[in-house]
Structure 1
């Protein structure tokens, strides 16, 4: 199947999916032309004959065609394949887009946004504070968004609030602006014993997933932050990154300065070409481990509270962020204002 026909075929399947009943070839051709695909009605008829033969569409005579179960499955599989690598591309885009200036502590940083009810957040405040206090959160700063606000791609709906945490990709952006490229390799679960990291118990390659690995682990119930903050033993979210070995020393200094600004730094950093917490670094590179920005949010899921967490949700001015210790007061003030 050539690439041009495959794109047209998937577009036809998408159009049929949007309709409950059969669609005639004239309407399909019109819709495709509206999308910028220059195609004739005759071409669509020939495509549909072949697709009927293969069982991905069903003919209803003069009434048109509709999508079959096989066609729906093909469409879902194709879109899944297209989304693989999307997250890695998004990381690169957000890294370039952020405008934060470390020397002035001004500009925009990358944040994660979790939509939840104020009561859900209020009930977890103590444990969320413990996550930050133990050093299991990215930095020390958070933000709150009101109903009706938009944080990047996320709209905060009525009767909910947005809880924003610093995304660890912010560190990538700061290093890049100082001439140090960082590659995000894996997102995973870091195993802790007595408060110390032992190894990556799970790791997902960013290039092979369409979802943030930590979101996958949070929704799957694989984390154990409550145990980590109480006993020092558990599984917490972290990512493995690589940077040029020659840039290791300036990267450490910049990460320390970033941490001092409340945005978080390196959790651990390895020697050139050496293994770090069970993951080997490439030749000429140093491995580095960065804490997951969504870690504080996992507490709510572990408490049985279903929330909607989105990693890399957008950019937020640094001035909007405040220390996590102010979260109880700020949340109470926001709740009163919304009543």
Structure 2
């Protein structure tokens, strides 16, 4: 389903209201967003949305968004949504005044016993790993509704004191002996269509429990810049700060993250940190970051101990996956004519008891063109089986060997419905230290959704690239776009073409979908292509 942006904006407006909304309000809201259309035109667009089942008319009162509409809003126009997290932060930060005793909260539905939630929350807040000392807890029987203060409340305080925060990234910070040491992973806000801290929690990259119990672990953290000239004012704010969520700040380098010239870097406790504890302990949590504006006094006040702010640099410099990919390209020397040479593979380990089932599933995956090429590795190592699948960076390496450079841009989820394809979630390779396909591994099913990678190349080499790919004769390319044209919902730079590859991990997704536990290491090894086996030979 391809919707134009006015329709998407109307859905977004309706999603923010609990009650039916009429054309007059929608027209005013659209005008604020730069769409100057009248009520008559709004009604025309609403009829389109009604016919698609995305909205529903409620008498003469107005429209509501349907469940189908909410789902479409989450998926629609992924390139438009890229950086939507950044935009949402700005919108929420500017929509209230903390000094009027209002705050933005995260919401989570925790499927755990109410008394368990109370006990854990008190422990977390007492240890100081939360934003502020307020929390909302509602016993819903089957689950507990939990509200935690978001770190952008601190941004609002900065704004109200004339300090402009620049929102950079979300990440996880390694703790040793109870103190922050370095950023371990990051995702830039402008490089993703999904919330970074939610990603780290979902992918089990956090270890707040470890910090609480032993002083060693990984904490969800947000990172900001403020102008260097506001340092004195910022430190005055810290003296009276009731949120107590700053863990480190400084110039040049903060916990391994480079700070721009004339700026101060600030690392803030992620407001989702208390929620992370429950996912780490095996409880299911439906997490909704930056969800609601509430009165602060409506939340419970807990005892919270203040943690010392550490001004610490680190020699460790975090790199995005983009640079790892470019480095891996140069290791490929595969010869198309000889059908041999060095290639890059992803690695997956499974228990040996799943060997027969895994082989059958891998054969199925490659028959259905879910993999790259038709070969994979299947090696016994003690009580494990090591599975090797070709990584899509191998294709980039082969093209580079022919002096045909491609630029890795995005990894994400490609939806395939009724022979139509579109990306519904993406992360930029140059905006994340985590491989997007690892992030989205559990979000695809190899039926309606698959992992896919997006590259760009200059239009003048389009014919040459197509010729090399024809000679290569691997199943690897899902589509190639025309110059200056979008492909599957992603736009390209001027004079560039887009090319979309199959994700090399898709065959492993099929194992996961059939309940075979897997341990993945992407872009992990350089191997001789001749040592891999074709599914046709098994």
Q: Which interval holds the TM-score relative to the shorter structure?
A: 0.5 to 0.7
Query: What is the SS of the residue equivalent to 1:258?
Result: coil
Encode CA deviations 1:204-261: one digit per residue, 9 max, x unaligned: 10111122211111111111111111110001100111000011121122133232xx
Does the 8 Å contact 2:117/2:144 carry over to 1? no
Partner residue in 2 for 1:214: 197
Within the alignment, does 1:128 sit opposite 2:118 as a pair? no
**Within 5 A, what are the aligned runs for 1:284-323?**
284-323=262-301
Over 3 Å counting, the alpha-carbon distance change for 1:301 and 1:36 in structure 2 is: closer
Q: 1:79 and 1:252 mapped to 2: Cα distance?
A: 42
Partner residue in 2 for 1:109: 103
Higher helix share: 1
Point out which structure has higher relative CO (alpha carbons under 8 A, 6+ apart): 1
Does the 8 Å contact 2:110/2:278 carry over to 1? no
Query: Alpha-carbon deviation of 1:202?
Result: 0.5
Query: Alpha-carbon deviation of 1:183?
Result: 1.2
Query: Alpha-carbon deviation of 1:33?
Result: 8.2
Partner residue in 2 for 1:96: 94
TM-score (norm 1): 0.66
Partner residue in 1 for 2:247: 267
RMSD (CA atoms): 3.0
Higher strand share: 2
Q: 2:272 and 2:154 mapped to 1: Cα distance?
A: 15
Does the 8 Å contact 1:190/1:197 carry over to 2? yes
Over 3 Å counting, the alpha-carbon distance change for 1:76 and 1:223 in structure 2 is: closer
Q: 2:82 and 2:138 mapped to 1: Cα distance?
A: 30
Query: Alpha-carbon deviation of 1:161?
Result: 4.0
Does the 8 Å contact 1:171/1:264 carry over to 2? no
Encode CA deviations 1:162-199: one digit per residue, 9 max, x unaligned: 21111000000111011111011010000001111110
Query: Alpha-carbon deviation of 1:127?
Result: 3.4
Query: What is the SS of the residue equivalent to 2:223?
Result: strand
Query: Alpha-carbon deviation of 1:129?
Result: 2.6
Partner residue in 1 for 2:441: none
Within the alignment, does 1:34 sit opposite 2:34 as a pair? no
Partner residue in 1 for 2:175: 192
Within the alignment, does 1:227 sit opposite 2:237 as a pair? no
Q: 2:273 and 2:75 mapped to 1: Cα distance?
A: 31
Query: What is the SS of the residue equivalent to 2:246?
Result: coil
Partner residue in 2 for 1:47: none
Does the 8 Å contact 1:255/1:265 carry over to 2? no
Find 1:239's aligned residue among 214, 222, 234.
222
Encode CA deviations 1:29-87: one digit per residue, 9 max, x unaligned: xxx9831799xxxxxxxxxxxxxxxxxxxxxxxxxxxxxxxxxxxx9986222211111
Over 3 Å counting, the alpha-carbon distance change for 1:35 and 1:248 in structure 2 is: same
Within the alignment, does 1:281 sit opposite 2:259 as a pair? yes
Query: What is the SS of the residue equivalent to 1:35?
Result: helix
Q: 1:306 and 1:204 mapped to 2: Cα distance?
A: 23
Over 3 Å counting, the alpha-carbon distance change for 1:163 and 1:281 in structure 2 is: same
Structure 2: state its 5+ residue gaps: 9-41, 49-72, 305-538
Query: Alpha-carbon deviation of 1:160?
Result: 4.2
Q: 2:257 and 2:190 mapped to 1: Cα distance?
A: 16
Does the 8 Å contact 1:165/1:294 carry over to 2? yes
TM-score (norm 2): 0.42
Count of equivalent residues: 247
Query: Alpha-carbon deviation of 1:307?
Result: 1.2
Off by >6 Å, runs of 4+ in structure 1: 75-78
Q: 1:76 and 1:312 mapped to 2: Cα distance?
A: 15
Does the 8 Å contact 2:111/2:283 carry over to 1? no
Over 3 Å counting, the alpha-carbon distance change for 1:172 and 1:284 in structure 2 is: same
Structure 1: state its 5+ residue gaps: 12-31, 39-74, 148-157, 327-339
